[in-house]
A and B are shown apart, each in its own frame.
Chain A
Amino acid sequence: MIEFHLDSRSGVSPYLQIVQQVRQALRLGLLGVGDQLPTVKEVVAQLAINPNTVLKAYRELEHQGLAGARPGVGTFVTATLSDSTLASHGPLRHDLERWMAKARRAGLDDESIEALFRNSFRTFRDAAAQDIA
C-alpha cells in the first residue's frame, strides 16, 4: 500500500499529482499487479481532499490501463510500468548532453539552459495536446 501526498504550490492539479504518484510507484516497483490502491475514503481522510479528486485520478489510471475497479472492494493495479522505452534512454540522453554542451559554448549559463528547455518542452507538450484535441 502506498500513501499519497500533495504539494499545493506545485500548480499541478491534485488529481494529476495522485496519478503521477501511482505511476512513479509503478515505475519504481513499489506497486505491482494485484496490489490494492488506498480506498477513496482512506485517501480522503488522510489528505482532507475532495473524493471526486481521488475518483477522477483512479478513473484516469483505469483509462491508462494501469488500474481496475472491483465494485465494493476497491481499485487494484492491473499493469506495471516496467519501462520498455528504457533502451532508448541512452542515445536520447547522449543527444541531450551534446545539445547542452552546444548551448554552453553559445554562452548560455545553467539558468538560461534550463529556462530554454522548460519553455520549449512546455510549448511542445501544449502543441501535442492541441493536436490530440
Chain B
Amino acid sequence: MTAVLAARGLGKRYGRRWALQDCTLDIPAGHVVGLVGPNGAGKSTLLHVAVGLLAPSAGSIEVLGRPPAADAAQLSRVGFVAQDAPVYSRLTVADHLRFGARLNPTWDPALARRRTEDLDLDPRQHAGSLSGGQRAQLALTLAIAKRPEFLVLDEPVASLDPLARRQFLQSLMEIVAEQGVSVLLSSHLVADLERVCDYLVVLVASHVQVAEEVDTLLGAHRRLTGPRRDPASLPGDIEVVEESHTERQSTLLVRTDGPVLDPAWTVEEVGLEDVVLAYMGRAVAPARGRRARLGVAP
C-alpha cells in the first residue's frame, strides 16, 4: 500500500529554535491516524509542513507520493482543518459554501448541501454566531466537500464540549466509511482518539516514539506486577517500556511478542492511554525508573 505521508529527517526551524527535528515517518494509506504528543512536541508544525503551509528547513516530505502543495492538483487532493476550526465570522454558512465552490475545482456541491442539511445549519446564519461544535462541523464540511484523498485535522476536538466532540467524531467516521479517505488528526489527549484511530503516531520532542497500528500496539503490551526484581533479569524478548519499583514490588509496562509465563508476575492487559503515556514518559525522562527505586514502599 502506498504511503499517504513519508518523511525523511524532516526538520523545521524558527530562527534558532527547531520546532521539528529529524522526523522520519511512514504512514500507510487507508487509515485514520492519530498523532499524539505533549504540547510543543511539533505536532502542528508537522501537519502544517504536510499540507504545504510551511516549507521544511531540513529533510524531505512527500504526501500522496508528491511534495506538499506542489501544484493546484496536489492542493485539491489534501484537505486541512486548522486548529480551532477557523471560519469567516462575518460570512454566512451559504457564503462559505459558495466560497468553497469557487476556490476548489473538485468541489462537490451536493455533498456540501447534504451535510449542512444533516447538521441543521441555517445557510443564512453568520459563522460568527455558530456554536463551537457547528463551527467545527462547517470547517469539516468545507474540507471534505473538495473530495480530498487525504484529510488532515489539527486538534479538531480540543475546544469542543463532550457532546459536540462525539458528534464531530461521528461525522468524521461516517465520512471515512462513505468516502474511504485517509485521515491524520492530532490531539494531546489519547482518550479523544482511542475509538476513531486505527493507527497511532506518538511524537515527543519532535521524535517519533511509536508509529504502529493500534491493535498491534494493544496486543504487544502488558503490565507486569510482582515481587521486586531487576528488569535486566527478564527474558530477552521482553522489552521494558516503563518501570517503577517500591522496596518490595516491581511494576513494569513491557512489550513482548509471546506470553509471559513466569508465575511470579501478575499479567494484565494495558489500555492505549497507558501505553502512550509510558512511551511519552520514557522519551522525556529515561532515568525515571532508577529514581523511583529510591522510593519507600507505602
Name A residues whose Cβ lies closer than 8 Å to a Cβ of B.
6, 8-9, 11-15, 40-41, 44-53, 56, 115, 119, 122-123, 126-127, 129-130
Contact = CB atoms under 8 A, between A and B. Distances in A.
28 contacts: A8-B195, A9-B271, A11-B268, A11-B269, A13-B214, A41-B174, A41-B177, A41-B178, A44-B176, A45-B173, A45-B174, A45-B177, A48-B172, A49-B195, A49-B196, A50-B176, A51-B176, A51-B177, A52-B30, A52-B31, A52-B198, A53-B195, A119-B263, A119-B266, A123-B263, A127-B259, A127-B261, A130-B258
B260 A126 contact: yes
Nearest to B266: A119
Contact of B259 (A41, A50, A115, A129): A129
B177 A48 contact: no
B112 interface: no
B196 A50 contact: yes
B280 interface: no
Interface residues of B, number: 33
B215 interface: yes
B173 A51 contact: yes
Nearest to B32: A50
Interface of B: 30-32, 166, 169-170, 172-174, 176-178, 191, 194-198, 214-215, 218-219, 258-261, 263, 266-271
Contacts of B218: 11, 13
B177 A44 contact: yes
Nearest to B194: A8
A40 B196 CA distance: 13
B260 A49 contact: no
B65 to A, nearest CB: 22
B101 to A, nearest CB: 26
B170 A44 contact: yes
Residue in B178, B197, B198 whose Cβ sees the most chain A Cβ within 10 Å: B198
Nearest to A127: B259
In order of increasing CB-CB distance, the 5 nearest A-B pairs are A126-B259, A11-B269, A48-B169, A51-B177, A44-B173
A48 B166 CA distance: 7
Contact of A53 (B198, B263, B269): B198
